Amino acid sequence: MRLIKHTLYLIALLVMLGFYQCSSAQKLQEKAPVNFGEVYYQTWNAGVKEGGSGTNVFITVKEDKIVLDSIYFRGQGVKLERLEKDALVYVGRFKSIQNKDIVLSSEMNEEHKNQLPYLPSQLPFKLENDECVITYKQHEKTNYYKISNIIEKPTLNYPSPPPKKD
């Protein structure tokens, strides 16, 4: 009898934890937190192999009522930065994953130097290639808003590594 009582208690606890997890899921806001101007993304390639490549997402806001925090785009998430020359433009910088040389050897100590592969974390949102989700804080609460139909601008091909900031 005591075993049944403990089992039922454990099941009730697990069910309550399951409902708690559901209530803490990120919910997208229906209404835009600010008026957005131009929102676009642009890929870039460095002129040297070690320079890499990536994609920058630019978000222009028309008023400064809130501060945007982060962006989720194409399976990745990064912090947004404000451009120094225009405080109403945010940029999310996504660097492409570089393939590192892998040492294959019959000696275990030689292969020890290999790095583990990068596995992107699962995003809490289902996004198309032309969509992103931004995060922002309002009244001490983190909110999420999806932006769709992001414009793609032509790729930038730099003759050397790209500049650090715009």
pLDDT band of 48, cuts 50, 70, 90:
confident
- The pLDDT score that the predictor gives to residue 89 is 95
Cα–Cα distances (Å) from 143 to 19, 51, 134, in that order, read 20, 35, 8
In 10 A of CB 72, how many CB atoms? 21
* CA separation for the pair 152, 43 (Å, rounded): 9
Confidence of residue 159 (pLDDT cuts 50, 70, 90): confident
Mean pLDDT for the chain?
Answer: 79
* Residue 109 burial (10 A CB sphere; 0-12, 13-18, 19+): exposed
Is the pLDDT confidence value at 23 over 50? no
User: What's the pLDDT band for 131 if we cut at 50, 70, 90?
Assistant: very high
User: Which residues lie across from 94 on neighbouring strands?
Assistant: 55
Q: What is the DSSP string of 140-151?
A: TEEEEEEE--PE
Give the count of beta carbons closer than 10 Å to the beta carbon of residue 60: 15
Taking residues 23-51, what's their average pLDDT? 82
Q: Supply the pLDDT for residue 166.
A: 53
Rounded to 5°, the CA angle 52-129-158 comes to: 25
Per the model's pLDDT, the better-predicted residue between 37 and 26 turns out to be 37
Whether the per-residue pLDDT at 154 is higher than 80: the answer is: yes
Query: pLDDT tens digit string along 76-95?
Result: 889 999 998 888 999 999 98
CA 32 to chain CA centroid, nearest Å? 19
Is residue 157 within 8 A of residue 47, CB to CB? The reply is: yes
Q: Enter the DSSP assignment of 58.
A: E
Least confident of 59-68, 91-100, 117-126, 157-166: 117-126
Mean pLDDT of the region 18-22: 46
- pLDDT at position 20 is 43
What is the structure's pLDDT at 78?
92
